Amino acid sequence: MAAAAALSRLARLGSYGIRRGRGLMFNRIQRRGIAACVDPSTGLTDEQKEFQKVAFDFAANEMAPHMAEWDQNEIFPVETMRKAAQLGFGGIYVRPEVGGSGLSRLDTSIIFEALSTGCTSTTAYISIHNMCAWMIDTFGSNELREKFCPDLCSMEKFASYCLTEPGSGSDAASLLTSAKLQGDHYVLNGSKAFISGGGDTDVYVVMCRTGGKGPKGISCVVVEKGTPGLSFGKKEKKVGWNSQPTRAVIFEDCAVPVTNRLGSEGQGFNIAMKGLNGGRINIASCSLGAAHASVLLARDHISVRKQFGETLSNSQFLQFKLAEMATRLVASRLLVRQAALALQEDRPDAVSLCSMAKLFATDECFSICNQALQMHGGYGYLKDYAVQQFVRDIRVHQILEGTNEVMRMIIARDLLTES
Ligand SMILES: Cc1cc2nc3c(=O)[nH]c(=O)nc-3n(C[C@H](O)[C@H](O)[C@H](O)COP(=O)(O)OP(=O)(O)OC[C@H]3O[C@@H](n4cnc5c(N)ncnc54)[C@H](O)[C@@H]3O)c2cc1C
């Protein structure tokens, strides 16, 4: 029902036709047909194919022509993201009564994969924003949901997820940012590191310590930009993900109403991890989009580039490489979609499958993009060619939302725990 409503909204807003001929190297994805074996629409329902087409068209028309400029000039493309939100992409798995699209985790993965072909960095930020909106929708009081979710779903306001601290990264449960209860407020002190969107966003979903050591002492509160005592560090200079700012978020006697807490006291770490299960599928889906685009770019390049008197695509070595890339892409996609289904169905294997999908897809897709760059030769190293940006943008997917070593820990713990 919700999906049908979202679909009719997409239909009302109109589908974007794929315009050709703009941008020599950055707008070539989808120009030729793709083989059914790597076609990301294979096996989807008609409705999912419709969402996917809207997302691919948006990526091709509204994102791909600008992705180099956003990267080069470090532009956070607020207006483009608001346009994406008009298509329902600001709160894809948020409930419709507070402005969300009410779609499934699999639908969400399909959409992020498609959007990511147009700009992986921007799509990855949209995915973090979606995760925050879902956390408020799922764990917030009705007052909080009604206050924040509509503006987040329309992307009038933007959100950030604040877990990591300078001294606690992989060991996130050791976080130190304190929240002391004073009357009807928590007073926050401490700092968060590496916060995506930090400084430019309006709503901060913050994990902080209201109790003793360990995960059970952690709560989750929403802090609004402009709250006295909230400030930001310098904008970090990064290898990729340049279309979104990353800053430290600092709390100095920052008073936040107790009513801004998500869930109960001590539930914060659990809420943070529940958000990340979906976040891991989303970030893996962004890697799929980058790898999908890179496979097509590599295919197109070797189909026209001549060396030793013939096109490179006649080399069996390169043919085999392309075949391996396609195989690893499809294997990654199957695992990501399987994990999305497990999460949607709240299955007992969901947490491990989300971790496996993130580990496998982000590692494989980085390797695919890197191989695609190699197949471009020296041209792949030039910023005129999109493939280098996909490589730079997805490198960080192996590090954040839990490093891929942490993913191995989660999977191993599951395997070694007696049921
Ligand atoms: C661009 C960017 C954006 C980010 N956005 C956000 C955000 O929006 N919100 C947020 O909260 N965080 C964000 N992060 C932080 C990110 O989640 C952390 O960087 C990540 O969790 C790793 O923490 P760390 O950097 O402290 O590395 P560390 O924890 O210090 O780890 C260093 C290395 O050691 C490995 N390691 C650690 N412990 C073990 C072990 N026991 N066994 C084996 N290997 C181990 C790690 O896997 C890693 O390879 C972002 C990071 C980046 C770079």
Second-level CATH architecture of 159-268: Beta Barrel (2.40)
Of 120, 121, 122, 164, the one to substitute when testing ligand 1's pocket (max ligand atoms within 8 A of C-beta) is 164
Amino acid at position 247, single letter = R
Strands 218-224 and 203-209, how do they pair?
Answer: antiparallel
Query: For residue 109, how far is its CA from the centre of ligand 1 (angstroms)?
Result: 23
| Nearest atom of ligand 1 to the alpha carbon of 166 | 26
pLDDT in tens, 296-354: 999 999 999 999 999 999 999 999 999 999 999 999 999 999 999 999 999 999 999 99
pTM assigned to the model:
0.94
Q: Does pLDDT of 382 surpass 90? A: yes
pLDDT for the residue numbered 393 = 98
Q: Is the CB of 196 under 6 A from ligand 1?
A: yes
Of 191, 194, 394, the one to substitute when testing ligand 1's pocket (max ligand atoms within 8 A of C-beta) is 194
pLDDT in tens, 237-275: 999 999 999 999 999 999 999 999 999 999 999 999 999
Q: Does pLDDT of 30 surpass 70? A: no
The stretch 106-134 carries a mean pLDDT of: 98
pLDDT in tens, 44-91: 999 999 999 999 999 999 999 999 999 999 999 999 999 999 999 999
Burial class (CB in 10 A: 0-12, 13-18, 19+), 204: buried
Q: Does pLDDT of 232 surpass 50? A: yes
Residue 258 tokens read as 């107790």
| Nearest atom of ligand 1 to the alpha carbon of 198 | 8
pLDDT higher at 22 or 226: 226
| Ligand 1 atom 35, closest CA | 405
| Confidence at 293, pLDDT banded by 50, 70, 90 | very high
Q: Is the CB of 170 under 6 A from ligand 1?
A: yes
| Confidence at 5, pLDDT banded by 50, 70, 90 | low
H, E, C per residue of 290-344:
HHHHHHHHHHHHHHHCEECCEEHHHCHHHHHHHHHHHHHHHHHHHHHHHHHHHHH
Does the domain at residues 273-416 carry the CATH identifier 3.40.50.2020?
A: no
User: Among the options 62, 165, 364, 401, which is catalytic?
Assistant: 401
pLDDT for the residue numbered 11 = 39
Q: Does pLDDT of 21 surpass 50? A: no
Strands 159-162 and 203-209, how do they pair?
Answer: parallel
Neighbours of 304 (CB within 10 A): 9
| Nearest atom of ligand 1 to the alpha carbon of 409 | 42
Q: Is the CB of 166 under 6 A from ligand 1?
A: no
Q: Does pLDDT of 18 surpass 80? A: no
Query: For residue 170, how far is its CA from the centre of ligand 1 (angstroms)?
Result: 5
Average per-residue pLDDT for the chain: 93
pLDDT for the residue numbered 69 = 98
pLDDT higher at 69 or 23: 69
Q: Which residue has the tokens 């969901």?
A: 350
pLDDT in tens, 344-356: 999 999 999 999 9
The boundaries of every CATH 1.20.140.10 domain in the chain are 273-416
Q: Is the CB of 168 under 6 A from ligand 1?
A: no
* Percent of the chain topping pLDDT 90: 91
pLDDT for the residue numbered 22 = 29
pLDDT for the residue numbered 25 = 46
Q: Is the CB of 276 under 6 A from ligand 1?
A: no
Active site residue 47: no
pLDDT for the residue numbered 178 = 98
The boundaries of every CATH 2.40.110.10 domain in the chain are 159-268
Q: Is the CB of 167 under 6 A from ligand 1?
A: no
pLDDT for the residue numbered 33 = 76
Neighbours of 38 (CB within 10 A): 18
Q: Does pLDDT of 410 surpass 80? A: yes
pLDDT for the residue numbered 32 = 66
H/E run at residue 181: strand 178-182
Neighbours of 176 (CB within 10 A): 14
Q: For the domain 2-153, what is the CATH code?
A: 1.10.540.10
Of 128, 359, 400, the one to substitute when testing ligand 1's pocket (max ligand atoms within 8 A of C-beta) is 400
Q: Does pLDDT of 374 surpass 60? A: yes
Q: Per-residue DSSP letters for 356-370?
A: HHHHHHHHHHHHHHH
* Percent of the chain topping pLDDT 70: 92
Of 283, 399, 410, the one to substitute when testing ligand 1's pocket (max ligand atoms within 8 A of C-beta) is 399
Neighbours of 258 (CB within 10 A): 16
pLDDT for the residue numbered 34 = 84
The Cβ-side half-sphere exposure at 18, using a 13 Å CA radius, reads 17
Q: Does pLDDT of 1 surpass 50? A: no
Which of 236, 246, 281 shows the shortest CA–CA distance to 127?
Answer: 281
Query: For residue 77, how far is its CA from the centre of ligand 1 (angstroms)?
Result: 26
The boundaries of every CATH 1.10.540.10 domain in the chain are 2-153
Q: Is the CB of 400 under 6 A from ligand 1?
A: yes
Q: Is the CB of 52 under 6 A from ligand 1?
A: no
pLDDT for the residue numbered 23 = 31
The stretch 123-137 carries a mean pLDDT of: 98
Q: Per-residue DSSP letters for 25-71?
A: TTS-TTSS---GGG-TTTT--HHHHHHHHHHHHHIIIIIGGGHHHHH
Residues 247/234, Cβ–Cβ less than 8 Å = yes
pLDDT in tens, 137-190: 999 999 999 999 999 999 999 999 999 999 999 999 999 999 999 999 999 999
| Ligand 1 atom 4, closest CA | 194
Distance (Å, rounded) from C-alpha 361 to C-alpha 383? 25
Residue 401 tokens read as 């939302």
